[in-house]
Amino acid sequence: MRHNTYSRGLPGLALATVVMLCAALTLAFFYAPLDANQGFLQKIFYIHVPLAIIALCGFVFGAVMAIMYLRTGDRKWDMRSYVAIHMALIFGIAGLISGSIWAKASWGHWWVWQEPTLVSYLIVLLLFATYQPLRFSIEDPERQSLYASVFAIVAGAFVPLNFIAVRLATEYVHPRVLNLEGGNLPGPMKLTFYVALIGFALLYVTLWKFEMSAKHARAQVRRLRRTLLGDDAGRPYGRSAAPL
Amino acid sequence: MSLLFAITPALPLGEAGKYVAAAYIVVFVVILVYVGIMAMRAQRTQRELEELRRDVEAVKAARAELDHDPDDGSDQTGAGRSERSEQIA
């Protein structure tokens, strides 16, 4: 039996994630000053922005894994791409809901359709929300992996293009606090934000490894069953969107 | 913990406090639901592994029984084994 490499270092990583997220929460509520305009409401910034950034990075990460699958033909890259996009979707939905709550409190509306940042983010999220139904619609595992990889690459390439297009937009109400020159955040806020960003990045990696480890273990059990009891015993119970 | 609250300024939990609490709780719940689903799947894999272990033990026991059966001829042993394996499977 092949050793499950994904579970290696997982407890340490999980511990580091908990420490970083606890540090981020402590800094956010007890160290970072109150915003002059938004006051206490600005505390949502420390979860909403990191979640959105990590989600978008996760989609690009999934696209890179899909490129690796097309280059090598090794199914493990397809599985990695699938889990990366799955995780990014979860982070994206959490970011979307937290942003919507912030918008309601700050602007008086749950959603502002005239705002390019919000709409473009929603488009990216909806685009990747079709990834799983696409996989599920294809029964043949080889074709499923191939089409899903092509989709992941095209949609992944759309993420940075979308980001640049929104940055070039002139009319927006969404604040710009981060740029290549360091942004206009005060020091304590910037420190808190970066700790939260690292915390959520660690959370993404931990959950990605956790799901990869679980899927690897399940595949091993299925393979063993097939070896021991014959081909029919290892077959899945029905069609699956996840790589087999 | 009380020391932490003593050295920090009071949090202005007013109208904004509800929204901030809601945003943090939603994120926490989304992650918790995901971890819960993954834990359930891990339990299912654990159950499958247990079933597999029992199947392996049954196959081993059946093979041992056949190996120690003196009445079986050499011609019948192979057929008997495969029939037994099929029954177990």
State the pLDDT at residue A116. Answer: 84
State the pLDDT at residue A20. Answer: 95
Q: Which residues are CB-neighbours of A93 under 8 A, at least 6 positions away?
A: A125, B30
User: What is the percentage of chain A residues whose pLDDT exceeds 90?
Assistant: 50
**What is the Cα–Cα distance from A184 to A226, expressed in whole angstroms?**
59
Query: B27 to chain A: which residues are within 8 Å by CB?
Result: 47, 51, 94, 97-98
User: A66-96: per-residue pLDDT in tens?
Assistant: 999 999 988 899 999 999 999 999 999 999 9
A39: helix, strand or coil: strand
**What is the Cα–Cα distance from A76 to A59, expressed in whole angstroms?**
17
Helix axes A45-72, A187-229, angle to 10 degrees: 40
Q: What is the value of ipTM here, to two decimals? A: 0.82
Pair A125, A96: CB distance under 8 Å: yes
CB–CB contact B45 A230 (8 Å): no
Closest-CA distance, A91 to chain B, in angstroms, reads 8
The pLDDT of residue A174 is above 80: no
State the pLDDT at residue B78. Answer: 46
State the pLDDT at residue A244. Answer: 61
**What is the Cα–Cα distance from A145 to A78, expressed in whole angstroms?**
6
Q: Does A22 touch chain B (CB under 8 A)?
A: no
Pair A82, A243: CB distance under 8 Å: yes
Q: Which helix (H) or strand (E) holds B47?
A: helix B15-67
Q: Which residues pair with A39 in a beta bridge?
A: A35
Query: A40 to chain B: which residues are within 8 Å by CB?
Result: 11-14, 16-17, 20
State the pLDDT at residue A234. Answer: 52
Average pLDDT of span A232-236: 54
Q: Which residues pair with A35 in a beta bridge?
A: A39
- Phi, psi dihedral angles at A39 (to 5 degrees): 65, -135
Q: Which residues are CB-neighbours of A49 under 8 A, at least 6 positions away?
A: A178, A193, A197
Pair B8, A32: CB distance under 8 Å: no
Distance of CA B18 to the CA centre of its chain: 38
User: What is the percentage of chain A residues whose pLDDT exceeds 70?
Assistant: 87
Of residues A147, A120, A119, the one with CA closest to residue A133: A147
Beta carbons within 10 angstroms of residue A239's beta carbon: 11
Closest-CA distance, B82 to chain A, in angstroms, reads 12
Domain boundaries, chain A: 10-224
Distances from the Cα of A66 to the Cα of A110, A130, A153, B59, angstroms: 35, 16, 6, 41
Question: Mean pLDDT for chain A?
Answer: 86
- Window from A33-42, A104-113, A224-233 with minimum mean pLDDT: A224-233
User: A113-170: per-residue pLDDT in tens?
Assistant: 888 888 889 999 999 999 999 998 888 888 999 999 999 999 999 899 888 887 777 6
A70: helix, strand or coil: helix
Residues present in chain A in total: 244
CB–CB contact A40 B31 (8 Å): no
Average pLDDT of span A220-234: 73
Whole-structure pTM value: 0.81
Residue identified by tokens 């092949």 is A2
Beta carbons within 10 angstroms of residue A175's beta carbon: 14
State the pLDDT at residue A235. Answer: 54
The pLDDT of residue A32 is above 90: no
**What is the Cα–Cα distance from B45 to B59, expressed in whole angstroms?**
21
Query: A228 to chain B: which residues are within 8 Å by CB?
Result: 52, 55-56, 59
Residue identified by tokens 């940075």 is A160
Residues present in chain B in total: 89
Q: State the first-to-last Cα distance of chain B, in angstroms, to the nearest integer.
A: 59
What is chain B's pLDDT, residue by residue, as a tens digit (89 residues)? 566 556 555 555 677 888 999 999 999 999 999 999 988 988 888 888 888 888 888 888 888 888 876 555 544 444 444 454 454 44
CB–CB contact B23 A224 (8 Å): no
